[in-house]
């Protein structure tokens, strides 16, 4: 059985659930649940465009935040947001259906580079960052994405309070082949101990 055969039903379930939420949007784009929260209209437009990023991953070898100029959806009405989502949902479903297992095994890179109009990245990472993606549905199909700058290595910085916080493992959940992103505790430390740091 191919990976796409396993992933397509899950993708369709996620798209259906997301559409159900977008269908219930009130015509109040300015609403926020907190003064620091993103306005509902902007958040809804962002969610509606998320399938396009999945299509990008499936159809291109990399994505560069320093070069890409994505067109942002601007909220006009709940109906407009749902229509935009439907279009992108159909595309990602088609892209996944036409993807081969070999293509899913390839490494995909997410990068940030400087552009002529912006000599330095807006938010350069303090050190090279890596994330490993793996799935229990395909143990041998692990891919690694890395992002780093071309400048000299930055000075040493203190380790994070929780040592494993920057290490993410894409582990399949019991009911989803896509899994959930959860922190990976360091060797010799249990997940329970790692997730219950001292407040002192």
Domain 3-157, classified CATH 1.10.150, yes or no: no
CA pair distance 129, 166, nearest whole angstrom: 9
Domain limits, the chain = 3-157
Instruction: Dump pLDDT digits (tens) for 3-54.
Output: 999 999 999 999 999 999 999 999 999 999 999 999 999 999 999 999 999 9
> Could you tell me the pLDDT band of residue 113, with boundaries at 50, 70 and 90?
confident
Distances (CA, A) of 116 to 26, 70, 113, 120, 146: 42, 18, 10, 9, 23
Instruction: Dump pLDDT digits (tens) for 40-98.
Output: 999 999 999 999 999 999 999 999 988 888 899 999 999 999 999 999 999 999 999 99
Nearest to 3 by CA among 89, 92, 90, 105: 105
Q: 15: buried, middle or exposed (CB in 10 Å: 19+, 13-18, 0-12)?
A: buried
CA pair distance 184, 163, nearest whole angstrom: 10
What pTM was computed for the model? 0.58
Residue 57 parent element (H or E): helix 40-59
Residues 6+ apart with CB under 8 A from 53: 63
* Residue 172 backbone phi and psi in degrees, to 5: -65, 135
Nearest-Å Rg of the Cα atoms of the chain is: 20
């Amino acid at each position: 059985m191919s990976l796409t055969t396993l992933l397509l039903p899950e993708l369709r379930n996620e798209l259906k659930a997301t559409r159900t939420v977008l269908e219930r949007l009130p015509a109040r784009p300015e609403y926020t649940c907190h003064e620091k929260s993103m306005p509902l209209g902007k958040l809804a437009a962002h969610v509606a465009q998320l399938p396009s990023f999945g299509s990008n991953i499936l159809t291109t070898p990399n994505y560069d935040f320093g070069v890409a100029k994505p067109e942002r959806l601007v909220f006009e009405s709940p109906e407009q947001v749902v229509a935009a989502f439907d279009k992108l949902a159909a595309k990602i479903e088609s892209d996944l259906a036409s993807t081969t297992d070999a293509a899913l095994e390839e490494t995909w890179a997410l990068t940030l580079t400087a552009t002529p109009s912006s000599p330095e990245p807006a938010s350069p990472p303090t050190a090279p960052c890596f994330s490993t993606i793996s799935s229990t549905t395909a143990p041998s199909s692990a891919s690694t994405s890395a992002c780093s700058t071309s400048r000299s290595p930055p000075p040493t910085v203190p380790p994070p309070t929780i040592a494993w916080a920057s290490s993410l493992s894409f582990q399949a959940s019991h009911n989803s082949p896509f899994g959930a992103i959860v922190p990976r505790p360091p060797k010799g430390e249990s997940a329970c101990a790692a997730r219950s740091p001292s407040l002192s």
